[in-house]
Amino acid sequence: MACVNRCRCCTDSRRQSSILYNILKSEEQQQQQQQHRHEEHESGQHPVPPPPPLPPPRQLGHAVGLGCSCGAQRRVALKSPQAACKAASAVLVKTLRFVKNVPCFQELPLDEQLVLVRSCWAPLLVLGLAQDRVHLETVETTEPSMLHRILTNKRGEEEEEEEEEEQQQHLQQQQQQQLLLLHKRQEQLEPTCGGGGSDSSPRLPSAGEIQAIKGFLAKCWSLDISTKEYAYLKGTVLFNPDLPGLHCVQYIQGLQQEAQQALNEHVRLIHRGDQARFAKLNVALSMLRSINATVVAELFFRPIIGTVNMDDMLLEMLCAKL
């Protein structure tokens, strides 16, 4: 809502700053200047120097967008989805192997293990990406500009009208034939598919959501986190006692405190000159809260697997021998 209410490139009250407005305004001013020079030439007066030209429309549009959060809402995709998804899948397998080999985790009942893994798989995966130094290269899926859409629509309107008339008759015949088949198929699929049809529709992550992941990776790399520090951070993330559905809350809380204590002791021993390192590591850990698990699944697993039910996949991996 803040972007809709305050963003200068989105409000109706400042529509005069749009690219299309500046193009039309520039043409109007040029016509007025030419007419004014013509009148002065006929009257014998010396022409007044014209005002400085307006900046190019692209510069205006760029200046208007400064400080605007609309760019964070643009949809992005992986530049090399196959390579990134393969790396993320390998990290996920490695992460689940690490979790299963923690003795304290093995002592928990299976339902408690599932609650923990389903909640923390995404932050653990991003931690693994940071540890393996997996770089994310993304590209924006930008929409065409308003001027481009106007010009394109005008040129294609006449052709589309002719094609639509021909296609409409053909489609009406096909729809009548397929209507009965669709109803029959729907009746067959409804008992087995259940709800959740909206989950199958792809949703590209926004630039802001991807930036949260990239920001965390950059933070970890700037701290040059060691293997032991990554292990203690993963233990802190894994043993989260605040999750609903847990029964061994005190036991899990104690494990999280032990992971934090071990991290603190390791930092004090290895990094004696950096008294703030323990706090820096926990600040990096807090950045994981802004990373959405759905975004991670859509980004790394949908391009190669399709519609992903992470709960089922995690259960299968948890019970398998990795």
Q: Looking at the structure, do residues 214 and 309 belong to the same domain, yes or no?
A: yes
* Eight-state DSSP code of residue 201: S
- Token couple for 300: 């790394």
Q: What are phi and psi of 248, to 5 degrees?
A: -90, 55
Q: Say what the pLDDT of residue 28 is.
A: 52
| Average model confidence (pLDDT) across the chain | 73
The three-class DSSP label of residue 67 is: coil
Could you tell me if residue 243 is inside a domain?
Answer: yes
For residue 147, being part of any structural domain is answered with no
Token representation of residue 109: 């009942």
Same domain, 258 and 208: yes
| Alpha-carbon gap, residue 285 to 316, rounded angstroms | 28
Give pLDDT, residue 80: 76
Whether 292 is in a domain gets the answer yes
pLDDT value at residue 44? 52
Q: Which tokens sit at 117?
A: 């893994």
| Same domain, residue pair 213 and 266 | yes
Coil vs helix vs strand at 45: coil
Residue 122 lies in a domain: yes
Grade residue 318 by pLDDT with cuts at 50, 70 and 90. confident
The 10s digit of each residue's pLDDT in 267-300 is 999 999 888 999 999 999 999 988 999 999 988 8
Higher pLDDT, 21 or 301: 301
Q: What is the CATH number of the domain that holds 242?
A: 1.10.565.10
Residue 115 lies in a domain: yes
Using pLDDT thresholds of 50, 70 and 90, give the confidence band for residue 264. Answer: very high
Residue 184 domain flag = no
Whether residues 125 and 26 fall in one domain: no
Q: Is residue 7 part of a domain?
A: no
Q: What is the pLDDT of residues 132-159, one digit of tens each?
A: 999 888 787 655 555 555 655 655 566 6
pLDDT over 70, % of the chain: 57
The last residue of one of the domains, among 28, 60, 92, is: 60
**85 shares a domain with 134:** yes
As beta bridge partners, residue 75 has 206
Model pLDDT, residue 228: 96
Give the total number of structural domains in the chain. 2
Q: Look up the domain containing 106 and give its range.
A: 79-138+203-319
Contact (CB, 8 A) for 108 and 78: no
Q: Interior CA angle at 227 toward 225 and 228, to 5°? A: 100
Residues 224 and 310 in one domain: yes
- Between CA 86 and CA 92 the distance in angstroms is 10
The residues near 139 (Cβ < 8 Å, ≥ 6 apart) are 76, 77, 78, 79
Q: Average pLDDT for residues 201-215, to the nearest whole number?
A: 81
The per-residue DSSP string of 136-194 comes to --EEE-PPPPHHHHHHHHHHHHHHHHHHHHHHHHHHHHHHHHHHHHHHHHHHHHHHHH-
Flag whether the pTM goes above 0.85. Answer: no
Mark whether 33 and 87 lie in a shared domain: no
What does the pLDDT read at residue 59? 39
- pLDDT for 158: 62
* pLDDT at residue 5 greater than cutoff 90: no
Considering the domain architecture, whether residues 125 and 34 belong to the same structural domain is answered as no
Residue that the structure tokens 């992470």 belong to:
310
Q: Tell me the range of 8-12, 95-99, 143-147, 165-169 where mean pLDDT is highest.
A: 95-99
Q: Are strands 76-78 and 138-140 parallel, antiparallel or unpaired?
A: antiparallel
The verdict on 33 and 83 lying in the same domain is: no
Residue 61 CA to residue 66 CA, distance in Å, equals 9
pLDDT digits (tens, 9 = 90+) for 20-73: 444 444 545 555 665 655 555 555 544 445 545 544 444 333 333 344 445 556
- For the ranges 71-75, 251-255, 305-309, the lowest mean pLDDT is seen at 71-75
Residue 299 lies in a domain: yes
Regarding whether 124 and 210 lie in a shared domain, the answer is yes
Task: Tell me: do 233 and 132 sit in the same domain.
Answer: yes
Band of residue 236 on the pLDDT scale cut at 50, 70, 90: very high
Same domain (yes/no): 211, 299: yes
Q: Compute the distance between CA of residue 210 and CA of residue 212 in angstroms, rounded to an integer.
A: 5
Residue 215 pLDDT level (bands cut at 50, 70, 90): very high
